[in-house]
Structure 1
Amino acid sequence: MSRITTAVWSRPEAERVGTTLVVALHGRGSDESSMLGLATLLPDAATLVAPRGPVPVDGGWTWFENRGIGRPLESSIKETAAALLEWLGTVEEQHTRIVLLGFSGGAAMSGGLLFSAADRFAGAVLLSGTLPWDAGLEAPEGLLSGMPVFWGNDPADPVIPAELMARSRRWLVEESGADLAEHTYRGMGHGISAEEGRDIAAFLTGVAAES
């Protein structure tokens, strides 16, 4: 059974009470330290936590085994989703709301959490990735009704298969019911540009300010 055993925080525990919790999920082959720098994008009313994926891969970590880029194995992503939700249950009480922020494989994992328990989250930031299609997770119409969702990518991303990104965009725009903020960054590649960082900061400020 997968477990979340390591996480880094942007502020000490005594300063987290009453803040919005932003859960930052790293990409495949990376680790939690790669996400901590995103704390600079957060408003004062938010705390960032970056857990480590439970599956070792390529000298780093990931959230699930896959059958190709952006294509999780059903048993693996479901196991990790359960582990993340269990872990969140141990830290969420002191926070006013939880927002997901996932990059690349972390975006797919964020999608897995939304598909598994959308009601646990107040928003999501999905960066340079795809939602986890064909992995045994339900994505009914209206699942994210009214939820603020940031969707940012470069249409020419050299890593994520174009058909998966297109399918994800179509669902987010046409079926999810999300209050979608779609951002396109041509020439950015597979990463997070300074412009995108500024847009993320504005988005998170808005979500954290909601009552």
Structure 2
Amino acid sequence: MSRFDTPVVVTRGDAEGPLVVLLHGRGSRETEIIGLADALPRGLSYAAVRAPIAEHGGFAWFANRGIGRPVAESLRATMDWFRLWLDGVAPPGRPVVLVGFSGGAAFAGGLLLDDPARFAGAAILYGTLPFEAGVPTDAARLAGVPVFVAQGDHDQVIPRELLDRTWRYLTVESGAPAISRRDQVGHAIARDALAALAGWLVERAAFPAPPGGPVTAPAHRERLPGDLPDRAGSRPDVSTTTPQQQRTDNAPTEVRESCSPG
């Protein structure tokens, strides 16, 4: 299969349902994170995969602990190993959602950024994206791919600057339709966050992301009369809840009132 051994996987749930892959963090293993399935929706298929490089802390090896070529090469090799297994158990047409905790979140994020079209969504729980490990993080990379983000305000394991960078990228720059929350916990899944994740997975099963990957701009756009000028400046600040609201750079009050019904 690769320089790694055949994946060690434990499963639960409906073997024919949409596949939710659970990826554990440092100091854990597949037999522990599969327990999340007990609190998640029935009717889905759950698979927890053991990290193949436990000597480096499992999937946490990719969470910006050592930046540079060795990490990028190791991530590439591990993603190829994982995809070979995944493509065997989830052929085209079967939705796949990634749920990664801590170091597993970094690996889930790497998989999603590497090939957004392959996944129906991803949950990045209490972890960081592998920003400097060779995967694309350009603007709108995840347009149209649902993402769930949960963080703890008192997390002392993942550096705050990486949590903040992950939060901003996923909720603003990536273009993903994101559901996000921060709870008054440390490096552990809050009860309310787990309940919100369960609801999000129900939606993913009912409305899987359309195939084809990120939404790209058409090569030609019809121009409005008068040719509007290109917008200058940074992106406006928007909420990370549903329905999403724009918080800054709003139209003048008189313009908004003129567009209001009634």
Alignment of 1:177-196 (within 5 A): 177-186=175-184, 188-196=185-193
Higher Cα Rg, which structure = 2
2:12 is the alignment partner of 1:16: no
Change (3 A) 1:153 1:170: same
Q: Which amino acid aligns with 1:51?
A: V
Among candidates 71, 76, 83, match of residue 74 of structure 2? 76
> Does 1-10 or 22-31 show the bigger shift?
1-10
Cα distance in structure 1, aligned partners of 2:194 and 2:62: 28
Change (3 A) 1:4 1:70: farther
> Does 113-122 or 33-42 show the bigger shift?
33-42
Cα distance in structure 2, aligned partners of 1:171 and 1:62: 24
2:116 is the alignment partner of 1:115: no
Among candidates 5, 26, 34, match of residue 7 of structure 2? 5
Cα distance in structure 2, aligned partners of 1:163 and 1:196: 21
Q: Which amino acid aligns with 1:189?
A: G
Where does residue 125 of structure 1 map in the other structure?
Answer: 123
Deviation at 1:65, TM superposition (A): 3.6
Where does residue 143 of structure 2 map in the other structure?
Answer: 145
Where does residue 98 of structure 1 map in the other structure?
Answer: 96
Where does residue 152 of structure 2 map in the other structure?
Answer: 154
TM-score by length of 1: 0.89
Q: How many residues matched?
A: 204
Cα distance in structure 2, aligned partners of 1:105 and 1:67: 6
Deviation at 1:135, TM superposition (A): 0.9
2:206 is the alignment partner of 1:204: no
TM-score by length of 2: 0.72
Cα distance in structure 1, aligned partners of 2:63 and 2:9: 27
Change (3 A) 1:209 1:68: closer
The answer to whether the 8 Å contact 2:105/2:129 transfers is: yes
Deviation at 1:42, TM superposition (A): 2.7
Q: Which amino acid aligns with 1:55?
A: I
Cα distance in structure 2, aligned partners of 1:24 and 1:67: 17
Q: Which runs of 5+ in 2 are unaligned?
A: 209-262
Where does residue 54 of structure 1 map in the other structure?
Answer: 52
Aligned-partner SS, 1:81: helix
The answer to whether the 8 Å contact 1:21/1:95 transfers is: no
Aligned-partner SS, 1:133: coil
Deviation at 1:4, TM superposition (A): 4.3
The alignment yields a C-alpha RMSD, in angstroms, of: 2.1
Aligned-partner SS, 1:90: helix
Q: Which amino acid aligns with 1:205?
A: V
The answer to whether the 8 Å contact 1:55/1:64 transfers is: no
Aligned-partner SS, 1:93: coil
Q: Which runs of 5+ in 1 are unaligned?
A: none
Where does residue 45 of structure 1 map in the other structure?
Answer: 43
